[in-house]
Amino acid sequence: MSGFVIVVDMGNTSTTVGLARAGRISGISHLPTRTTCRKDVTAVLTRLTRNRLITGAMLCSVVPQRNHLWLRELQAVSGRLPRMVHHRMKLGLRIEYPNPASIGADRLANACGAAYRYGSPVIVADFGTALTFDVVAKNAYMGGIIVPGLPLMTDYLAEKTALLPHLRLDRYHGIPRNLRAMPVIGKNTRQAMAIGARLGYLGMVREIFTRLQHTLKDRTVRLCATGGYSAWALAGCDLRVRIDPDLTLFGISRIYELNTSRENMA
């Protein structure tokens, strides 16, 4: 039986860890990026890898100052030097972008994973600290769009107003999960904020997708969404969107596989 590869997606707010084998992601855990210490990393990796054969590890990071902690611990549990996602790796698609080094590693992983799972053309909406849209067309990464994410919006409202509360949308239960059952008029401040976030970001996704679809001149372009708030924002909406929670980890594992296979054939 083949071994597992540890895949790590380190974002600005949250770090997601999982195990990849044969195109499947399992054992997913989440840690806060900025406050996680060595003991926390060791604990989650020990629990994840116990009694399993680990054949490698790959880190995808947009927080360089935290890389050393994860690379050291990944090497300790895997017994080999971890890899890091970057634009010079084999991605399974071309990059048509003026400065490839400036593309976030998570966006490369999303593009790689989406192109493999859904084909080209495809647009990935990633609901993280920022909401990013990445475009793959003619099997090439073309670029995308970046807007503030849902947690930035709610944090900013709380910080810059005297009376609006800090609202954790992922923990708020004042509106139903399914959009079709959600009221349109809020009956208290928190509910009004949550409805505004839900409808506002749905409208943003719809408008951006429509414009990108028009620019690509292809009505068959697919839309997929990932990231912690994707299901909250889009569940029950009228868009034809595939919500794919483990897309980034899958993309990381796919990049690992592509580059390992190339080395083994050399």
Cα separations (Å) of 103 from 85, 115, 146, 243? 11, 17, 12, 23
Architecture of the domain delimited by 4-84? 2-Layer Sandwich (3.30)
Query: Looking at the predicted structure, is the pLDDT value of residue 220 above 70?
Result: yes
Sign of CA dihedral 155, 157, 159, 164: negative
Residue 264 has pLDDT above 90, yes or no: no
What's the rounded Cα separation, in Å, for the pair 142 and 187? 43
What does pTM read for this prediction?
0.94
214 Cα distance to chain centroid = 25
4-84 against 107-266: fold identical: yes
Residues that are catalytic: 106
Domain covering 107-266: architecture: 2-Layer Sandwich (3.30)
CA distance 241 to 223: 5
Q: Has residue 10 got a pLDDT over 60?
A: yes
**pLDDT mean over 73-81:** 95
pLDDT of residue 177: 84
Upstream peptide bond of 121 is cis (omega within 30 degrees of 0): yes
Average pLDDT over residues 211-226: 95
- How many residues make up the chain in this entry? 266
Across the range 158-176, mean pLDDT stands at: 93
Alpha carbons 69 and 130: distance in angstroms, whole number: 24
pLDDT in tens, 36-67: 999 999 999 999 999 999 999 999 999 999 99
Mean pLDDT of 154-177: 93
- Name the residue type at position 64: P
The tokens describing 54, both together, are: 């680990």
pLDDT of residue 154 exceeding 80 = yes
pLDDT value of residue 261? 62
DSSP-assigned letter for residue 228: T
Residue 1 has a pLDDT of 54
Domain boundaries in the chain?
A: 4-84, 107-266
